[in-house]
Structure 1
Amino acid sequence: MARDMQITFDCADPAALAAFWAEALGYQVQGPPGNFESWEQALDAMGVPPEHRNDASAVVDPEGSRPRLFFQRVPEPKQVKNRVHIDVRAAPGLEGDERMAALEKEAERLAAHGATRLGRHEPAPPLGAGHLVMVDPEGNEFCLD
Structure 2
Amino acid sequence: MSLEIAREVQFTFDCADPARLSAFWAEALGYQMQPPPPPFESWEQALDAWNVPPERRNDASASVDPKGAGPRLFFQRVPEGKVAKNRVHLDVRAAPGLTGAERMAALESEAGRLVALGATRLHREDPAPPLAAGHIVMADPEGNEFCLD
Q: TM-score scaled to structure 2, two decimals?
A: 0.96
Q: Which structure 1 segments of 5+ residues have no match?
A: none
1:55 is matched with: 59
1:44 is matched with: 48
**How far has the Cα of 1:102 moved from its partner?**
0.4
Q: Which structure 2 segments of 5+ residues have no match?
A: none
Q: Letter of the aligned partner of 2:29 in structure 1?
A: L
Q: 1:108 aligns with which of 109, 112, 115?
A: 112
Q: 2:101 aligns with which of 83, 97, 101?
A: 97
1:22 is matched with: 26
Deviation string, structure 1 residues 17-55 (Cα, Å, up to 9, x no partner): 000000110000000011101000000001100000000
Q: Give the match's secondary structure for 1:62.
A: coil
Q: 2:13 aligns with which of 9, 12, 15?
A: 9
1:120 is matched with: 124
Matched, 1:78 2:75: no
**How far has the Cα of 1:2 moved from its partner?**
2.5
Sequence identity of aligned pairs in percent?
Answer: 77
Q: RMSD across aligned C-alpha pairs, in angstroms?
A: 0.6
In structure 1, how many angstroms separate the alpha carbons of the residues matched to 2:8 and 2:148?
25
Q: TM-score scaled to structure 1, two decimals?
A: 0.99
Count of equivalent residues: 145
Q: Give the match's secondary structure for 2:105.
A: helix
Q: Which runs of 4+ in 1 moved over 2 A?
A: none
Q: Give the match's secondary structure for 1:71.
A: strand
2:143 is matched with: 139
Q: Letter of the aligned partner of 2:45 in structure 1?
A: Q
In structure 2, how many angstroms separate the alpha carbons of the residues matched to 1:130 and 1:7?
25
